[in-house]
Each structure stands twice: as C-alpha cells, then as structure tokens.
Amino acid sequence: DAGVIQSPRHEVTEMGQEVTLRCKPISGHDYLFWYRQTMMRGLELLIYFNNNVPIDDSGMPEDRFSAKMPNASFSTLKIQPSEPRDSAVYFCASTLDRAYSPLHFGNGTRLTVT
C-alpha cells in the first residue's frame, strides 16, 4: 500500500500564474477529498468526490479554484489565477465506502504564491 500520493511537495509561483496540484488516492478507495491547511483557518474541506463524481464543493473558495477526477486513480486541484492568499498546504485524502474506514492523508503540497 503506497498510501495517498501528492505532487509536487512544494510549489512556488508568482501571483497570476496557474497552479495544478495532483493526487493519487489509495487503490480501491471510493472517496477523495481536498483540504487546505492554514494557520488562521486550520484544515478546511474544499471538495470531495465519490466514484469520481464531485459530491460537495461548497468549500471551494471561489471560481479561481477547480477540481477534477477524470478516473479513480487521479485527481487535480487547479488554481487560476493564483493569489498570495492561496498560500497554504493542500492535502488530499481518500477513504473506502465503509462506515468504519478512516481518512488516509497524503503528505501535502506546500504552495507559496509570491
């Protein structure tokens, strides 16, 4: 079990640029989540998918953010255009469609927008 894999680990970009974060969930997991972690707001749920379909995107901050899951083994979170206030650690997590299955987190992507 390789765990949830995120790339890149670190991303530094200039304001206005497009940023794409990537996630590979654990094989067989039915749910995939994107979270954003900041000092001020803690861990915020941005969006989650079930069987590649977005279920709840109410946490996506604004239209600059978009997420896709084209297949069961890959998801992207895109920010276009990026702004300094988007600087945060972005975590991807996955879980099984079973009542007692916990979330499994990736190592996160630390995004810095200058």
Partner 1 sequence: AQSVSQHNHHVILSEAASLELGCNYSYGGTVNLFWYVQYPGQHLQLLLKYFSGDPLVKGIKGFEAEFIKSKFSFNLRKPSVQWSDTAEYFCAVKTSGTYKYIFGTGTRLKVLA
Contact positions toward partner 1, by CB under 8 A?
4, 31, 33, 35, 41-45, 48, 50, 55-56, 91, 93, 95, 97, 99-100, 102-103, 105-108
How far apart CA 29 and CA 32 sit, in angstroms, is 8
In this complex, which beta carbon is closest to partner 1, that of residue 14 or of residue 97?
A: 97
C-beta atoms surrounding 37 within 10 Å: 14
Minimum CB separation from partner 1 for residue 17, in Å? Answer: 26
Q: Are 11 and 21 in contact (CB under 8 A)?
A: yes
Q: For residue 68, give the nearest of 111, 26, 32 by alpha carbon.
A: 32
In this complex, which beta carbon is closest to partner 1, that of residue 50 or of residue 80?
A: 50
Minimum CB separation from partner 1 for residue 40, in Å? Answer: 9
Q: For residue 93, give the nearest of 46, 40, 55, 59 by alpha carbon.
A: 46
In this complex, which beta carbon is closest to partner 1, that of residue 52 or of residue 81?
A: 52
Minimum CB separation from partner 1 for residue 41, in Å? Answer: 7
Question: Any idea what DSSP says for residue 98?
Answer: S
